[in-house]
Amino acid sequence: MSELAPLALTFSDDQAEAYDRVAAELLAMGVDLAEGTTEPRGEGKSSVLAVVGKAGSGKTMLLASLYKALAAAGVDLVSGDYEPKRRKDRRTLAILAPTNKAASVLRMRGVPATTIHRILYTPVYDPQYEKIAEWLTGQGPRPVVEGLTDLALDRAHAFYQTVASIPGALAAAGLRGSDFIKGWKRREEPLDVGFVDESSMLDERQLDDLREIFPTLVLFGDPAQLAPVGLSGEMVFNRLGESRKLTLSRIHRQTQDNPILDLAHALGDPGLGFDQFERMVEEVARRDERVVWAERVDADLMARSPVLVWRNATRIRLITAFRAAQGAPEDALLPGEPLICDGIELPLKHRKKRIDLEARGLIKGAQVIYLGPGTKPGFAKLHVVGAEDPQISAASIIKIERPDEEEPFIATAAVMGAAFLHGAAVTIHKAQGSQWDTVQVFAPDLYAAAAAGRSESGVALWKRLAYVAITRAENRLMWVVRNRLARPLQPLTVADLKPLSVPLSLSLQESGG
């Protein structure tokens, strides 16, 4: 059996039904999963399906199984790593997520995902170095490249045999990512099949963009999460007809005996009040170490796993306390401080530079670690969490907000470029799509949401917030019940941040020229 052949998985009935329904849709579009064969894509056909279910219902397992079946049928993967020239007789698949972190969660589970932004744009490769990529991926002969020795090519080949990463292989040959990719342009030609994870985060414009590119689109999403701002509590898949939605209602056996998911699913009880839920958390914490009833916030964890809050005022207070506990000066950042990208501050005439920044992973909501000042004024060296090639240098506007002050302090001030807020605490809305090994949830904010009596799509807002926050935890949940911060036990560090390849340099000049 091929290494990429479908695994012998034990599906629940609703998973098996969803698999068969997606397979039937693909068959109508010329991809036969049962026979492992493909036909050229027919023109004019289009299809959108949604697979929805709560955490633990097996959406990722189903997505991974479908990916393996498509690969076994000979469908080519389009990824953020390297996109070879299209062949007319080959079918393609792209697996997408709204954020770098969400894509990296899938990649760690063996599913080669990339971001939506990265697929909306296509890279412009240096023709000389593209020959190396074609050779490594089996699309061309071993090249002769001016300035590169046979030994350097051998190193690239040996790296690629161990880790199938084009950026990593080029780095092993002594090339930078910016040598290979000279720029980006909006994708003009459509692709083929697209799988979109965390589709509850999509807005209508993103869905329209994806429908232009992918004739066959399958959305995977959780209806219990928070809807994007502006969609009035609805997810884009709710607007599809019921016949286009496949619902996974059974919690899969591999996720049973998981106290974190048990707590998340308990929130589905309409009669459950906040106080009852807290007693439930406290009781679970007594018997299972995966749930912690915490009297204070852990400052060490905040460096890599932000505290999840509801209110902006809480977020700013916790960040201020974190920086003070770490001994950070008021007018500068320490290497190792976490940041969140707050968007790109560029005029419209610099569209090409915006595309370059976004394609490298600096999209709104991206998690970033500050590594130190760049070599040019206003530039910062950054590690983009979850990006395929994470270490970059970019013109940066880093804002440090302070309690009771309207204007933030600007720690790094390029005239224009990528804007950042501090990331030691983030709102639960911005945490959607991300996961961390251990998650701290600031319970006093959820109590405030419960006291406010607000609801979203007929569900108490505090329950939606709690559900999203809890399901961000992969292995351990800390339910923080007091507005206190424990002193850090170790200084900030960047030693844990391993680059995939050598750092990339983003040539965004301060002058904007």
Write the CA distances from 136 to 76, 81, 100, 165, 390, integer angstroms: 15, 12, 25, 10, 22
Q: Residue 38: helix, strand or coil by DSSP?
A: strand
Query: What pTM was computed for the model?
Result: 0.81
Q: Is the pLDDT of residue 414 over 60?
A: yes
Average pLDDT of the chain to the nearest whole number: 86
- pLDDT band at residue 513, thresholds of 50, 70 and 90? very low
* Across 142-166, average pLDDT: 88
Instruction: Provide the CA 61 distance to its chain's centre, in angstroms.
Output: 17
Helix (H) or strand (E) holding 387: none
Q: Is the pLDDT of residue 61 over 80?
A: yes
| Residue 415: predicted pLDDT | 74
| Residue 50: predicted pLDDT | 94
| Residue 126: predicted pLDDT | 86
Q: Is the pLDDT of residue 230 over 80?
A: no
| Residue 507: predicted pLDDT | 37
Q: Is the pLDDT of residue 313 over 60?
A: yes
- pLDDT band at residue 335, thresholds of 50, 70 and 90? very high
pLDDT digits (tens, 9 = 90+) for 440-485: 999 999 999 999 999 887 889 999 999 999 999 999 999 999 999 9
Q: Residue 471: helix, strand or coil by DSSP?
A: coil
pLDDT digits (tens, 9 = 90+) for 245-280: 999 986 664 555 789 999 999 999 999 999 999 999
Report the distance separating Cα 50 and Cα 66, nearest Å. 14
Q: Is the pLDDT of residue 1 over 50?
A: no
More confident residue, 504 or 139: 139
Q: Is the pLDDT of residue 236 over 70?
A: yes
Q: Is the pLDDT of residue 131 over 60?
A: yes
Cβ pair 348, 358 in contact under 8 A: no
Q: Residue 120: helix, strand or coil by DSSP?
A: helix
| Residue 232: predicted pLDDT | 58
174-183, 337-346, 434-443: least confident range = 174-183
Pairing of strands 455-456, 459-460: antiparallel
> Which DSSP string corresponds to 253-314?
GGGTT-HHHHHHHHTT-TT--HHHHHHHHHHHHHH-TTEEEESSEEHHHHTTSPEEES-HHH
- pLDDT band at residue 195, thresholds of 50, 70 and 90? very high
| Residue 306: predicted pLDDT | 95
- pLDDT band at residue 3, thresholds of 50, 70 and 90? very low
Write the CA distances from 191 to 23, 83, 91, 324, 356, integer angstroms: 19, 12, 9, 49, 21
% of the chain at pLDDT higher than 70: 91
pLDDT digits (tens, 9 = 90+) for 360-407: 788 888 899 999 999 888 899 999 988 777 888 888 999 999 998 888
Handedness of CA 224, 227, 232, 238 (dihedral sign): negative
Phi then psi for residue 234, to 5 deg, are: -100, 150
Helix (H) or strand (E) holding 472: none
